[in-house]
A and B are shown apart, each in its own frame.
Chain A
């Protein structure tokens, strides 16, 4: 296997957690002295049973990771926060050492775990290019050779001799990325760099990574943006709880990951009528969400219409029941409230005792991608609250590659409607020239 440039074999990383302190990560001498005193105490009285200190806990951030990456591959690592993605990058880029297993690298490795690592605010743009270049692993000669290119890329010519503490954040990011973009490693390691900066900057990064990959370099990147991974990567690695869940073709891995990887409440069922949420007037029975025409476990994408169903027992006869929902996105923003307002058979009618089912149809291309939470509100006579069930459903709307106009970054906003647009050419190019000449 001559062209495997990165290989990991049973790699694991263990951390020791210290609990008792508020500032738990830094031990103080006092702790150490106490520990030693306890050790001496045990040595003097060996019959004292050794107990594990409750303040120390082992934690495997990564366990048993084995993979091969060929030259020219773009490996995307996905997984939830704390699944070990960053730890794996740190191990590959040799910032920290594995506790077990081995990593074999062939070629020069450059890691870009942060944009602008080592930038010093007091130094000028020119000085920082050299400093940052050296930090990222370029030689002085290499930096001098590419200096003009870097400056042109960053578009900071007239500020070269200004301390970068006076730069705007945009200039700062551009300069930082310009240096990183001129690295020529065989293996490039990128951590979520794409999450910073404005849209134009993100596009620039994506384009650059695409170019780098086409030159036959190997890239390992972490991203929370599934579209980036799907668009750029030739392989995806799904980590969960520090272990490899799956490794393979990005599209397949991503859809599996989206299906299972967040703690969704796509379906709830309370079989015991007395223990179900509610009171002596109403009790919940079942709630579920599914894409239109799909099953309950299926993922819901932005471009899918979906259906929410709620079943509940009405326990008092002749109750004028009103049911509504509130839907919040992952930022806790209320996207909408909804209730049946059209003339369904039961609107404004007294409900007899029995099990009722309410179905809410949500159209496609309304909600944006992300986790959404639904609260169910049950009231009577329009103004008396009988029961409110927070988080009766929690589900993620998955991003889709359809209808994005070529943009693969995240799409902001609480909703994501597809609106009608017209584009017209008002004046041809020659005419524009005349206007600008005249002014």
Chain B
């Protein structure tokens, strides 16, 4: 630390490329404190606190199970329909709220951004962390559903963290895009909720993606959430087979979004304080 303090720091136009990740590492405590703040603040002055996350998940579960399972009578491949929906609601809800929070994070943190220097990526980053914690809590509690149905997953459940990683990467990649775009174009404030609402039905949350005709399947998998949800179902529900091209495609799209999101964010972050 001492020798760092004496090091010369040169600030130039466009000269911020070197040491970006090192600087992020130096600000890890700020990252920790901001994420901690978001967690603490999220359920302050609510009567039931984190239970809201569970209630939201349960409500979505109920509605989707009734609409798609009972009324539309979609096939479930022998699995209790609520479990089929649950395996999708879990990652979807994380994705949707992480994306919303990420997108709004910079604009909401405008006061901080225009007064203090720090790697801006911390702000959307902490928004993802908060939702990740919600995700873990609701995942753990809703796992009780499996016991209720007496349905036990097999060894494939061990791959759940990998798919969780995939959806986190997806949320970060897309979230970085949205956060950076939102700084300049507040339009996304209206676009995001709308798009997510459509996305709920465009992604196989309420139904199994095997219901999609075979020749459309690969095209359908261009939506990276399809691969995520299929992965979760494959890992949690016995007997479901994985559609590998779809997973691979999802992996590629997610990687692409993550790389371009980081690129766009870094390219625009130097002007955030001027534009916001």
Contacts and interface: CB of A to CB of B under 8 A. Distances in A.
Given A111-B117, A136-B116, A32 B185 contact: yes
A106 B29 contact: no
B18 interface: no
B33 A96 contact: no
Nearest to B1: A139
Given A106-B6, A107-B6, A131-B33, A114 B16 contact: no
Interface residues of B, number: 39
Interface string A298-334: 0000000000000000000000000000000000000
A396 interface: no
B117 A29 contact: no
Contacts of B10: 102-105
Contacts of B9: 104-106, 109
B115 A113 contact: yes
Contact of A96 (B34, B44, B271): B271
A95 B272 CA distance: 9
Interface string B264-276: 0000001101110
Interface in A127-172: 127, 130-131, 134-136, 139-140, 163
A390 interface: no
A163 B45 CA distance: 11
Interface in B1-35: 5-16, 29-30, 32-34
A118 B185 contact: no
Given A113-B115, A123-B40, A140-B29, A97 B16 contact: yes
B116 A111 contact: yes
A95 B5 contact: no
Interface residues of A, number: 44
B154 interface: no
B13 A95 contact: no
Nearest to A87: B274
A8 to B, nearest CB: 9
A134 B11 contact: no
Contacts of B41: 120, 122-123
A186 interface: yes
B13 A117 contact: no
Contacts of B114: 95
Given A130-B33, A134-B29, A98 B273 contact: no
11 contacts: A26-B185, A27-B185, A93-B117, A96-B270, A97-B14, A103-B10, A105-B9, A107-B6, A118-B116, A135-B33, A139-B29
Given A117-B112, A117-B115, A140-B33, 13 more contacts: A15-B274, A25-B275, A27-B185, A32-B185, A90-B273, A95-B117, A95-B273, A96-B274, A101-B13, A104-B10, A109-B9, A130-B33, A140-B32
Interface of B: 5-16, 29-30, 32-34, 37, 40-41, 44-45, 111-118, 184-187, 270-271, 273-275
